Amino acid sequence: MAARRLLANLEELAAGTGLVLVVAITIYNIVNRYVLRQSGVWAPELAGMIFAWVVFLGAAAAYKRQMHISISVVVRYLPARLQVAVAQAGGLLLAAFLAYVTYLAFKITLSSHSRLSPVMRVPFSYVYASATIGFALMFVHQVAALARPRSPAPRQPGGRPMNWIPPVVMFGLFAANIPVAFAIAIAALVLLHDGPGDPDAGADPAAGQHHAILSAASPSRSSSSSASSSITAAWAGGS
């Protein structure tokens, strides 16, 4: 059981150990340079080499745990069968991409073996091997994910239709050569202004939410349970 857990968390353990080593080497180099007034020219180079392994092993661990950011705002509004089909197609695309970049990283690793680092004279292949191992692990995790059955993403609460105006505005501003940060900010303002609000609020979408907030905040003869219900309604309307 312990061996299985160790193998299941191998990327996390290796990346965490590497990160501890990077921090320790950096602290040693700072003390050595500014306190002891000595030179440890090998320390930055070794820390950089270890950090490359931390990055790619950490990326593989995040891929295994499905922690890489993805945007499902459109997919979750599709029918269930179409969601599964899109997920399978995307998974196959990712598997093909990861297999190809693993091959490219392996070629670079082999070709860089004759190049030596300036200080420690270590072949750069030991550094580029981190990319090969990292992409290979992500490929294995992706193939394993394809073998598992997929379930459709949960639909939006209340079955409210998607508001297409903010993304259309955002991509329109992108096409108009508006800076990305300002385009996203304008689209966010449009989303806040035209949000669906509370579907039970009638003509004014925000009226139900504002009424619930005021009911919870204002003093009344109602019991604390009614105030809690109002706060819950306000939270539900805001979400």
Residues 29, 48: Cα–Cα separation, whole Å: 13
Tokens of 63: 């891929």
The reply to whether 11 and 102 lie within a common domain is yes
**pTM for this structure?**
0.66
Q: Please check whether residues 32 and 136 belong to one and the same domain.
A: yes
Number of domains in the chain: 3
Same domain as 146, residue 30 = yes
Q: Are residues 65 and 150 in the same domain?
A: yes
Same-domain check for residues 6 and 120? yes
- CB of 44 within 8 A of CB of 65? no
Domain span holding position 46: 2-155
pLDDT at residue 162 in the model: 62
**Is residue 38 domain-shared with residue 15, that is, in the same domain?**
yes
Same domain as 143, residue 56: yes
pLDDT at 72: 77
Q: Is the pLDDT of residue 156 over 60?
A: no
pLDDT in tens, 88-122: 999 999 999 999 999 999 999 999 999 999 999 99
The whole-number pLDDT of residue 83 equals: 87
Of 127, 155, 183, which marks where a domain is finished?
A: 155
Comparing 6-20, 118-132, 168-182, 196-210, which segment has the lowest mean pLDDT? 196-210
Which has the higher per-residue pLDDT, 78 or 162?
78
Burial 109-147 (b: 16+ CB within 10 A, else e): beebeeeebeeeebebbebbbbbbbbbbbbbbbbeebee
Question: Is the pLDDT confidence value at 33 over 80?
Answer: yes
Contact criterion met (CB below 8 Å) for 236 and 158 = no
Mean pLDDT over 52-65 rounds to 95
Whether the pLDDT of residue 182 is over 60: the answer is: yes
Residues 41 and 97 placed together within one structural domain of the fold = yes
55 and 147 in a single domain? The answer is yes
CA atoms within 13 A on the CB side of 140: 10
Count of beta carbons in the 10 Å neighbourhood of residue 81: 9
* Phi, psi of 37, rounded to the nearest 5 degrees: 55, 40
Same domain, 31 and 128: yes
Burial class (CB in 10 A: 0-12, 13-18, 19+), 26: middle
Average pLDDT, the chain: 79
Domain boundary among 155, 185, 211: 155
- Taking the C-alpha atoms of residue 141 and residue 223, their distance in angstroms, rounded to an integer, is 53
Q: In the numeric block, which tokens belong to residue 203?
A: 């003509």
Structure confidence by residue, pLDDT tens digits, 198-233: 444 444 444 444 444 344 444 444 444 444 444 444
Q: 115 with 123: CB under 8 angstroms?
A: yes
Poorest-pLDDT segment among 32-36, 142-146, 150-154, 172-176: 150-154
223 and 174 inside one domain: no
**Average of per-residue pLDDT across 178-193:** 83
Q: Are residues 106 and 141 in the same domain?
A: yes
**Which three-class secondary structure string do you get for the chain?**
CHHHHHHHCHHHHHHHHHHHHHHHHHHHHHHHHHCCCCCCCHHHHHHHHHHHHHHHHHHHHHHHCCCCCCCCCCHHHCCHHHHHHHHHHHHHHHHHHHHHHHHHHHHHHHHCCCCECCCCCCECHHHHHHHHHHHHHHHHHHHHHHHCCCCCCCCCHHHCCCCCHHHHHHHHHHHCCCCHHHHHHHHHHHHHHCCCCCCCCCCCCCHHHHHHHHHHHCCCCCCHHHHHHHHHHHHHHHC
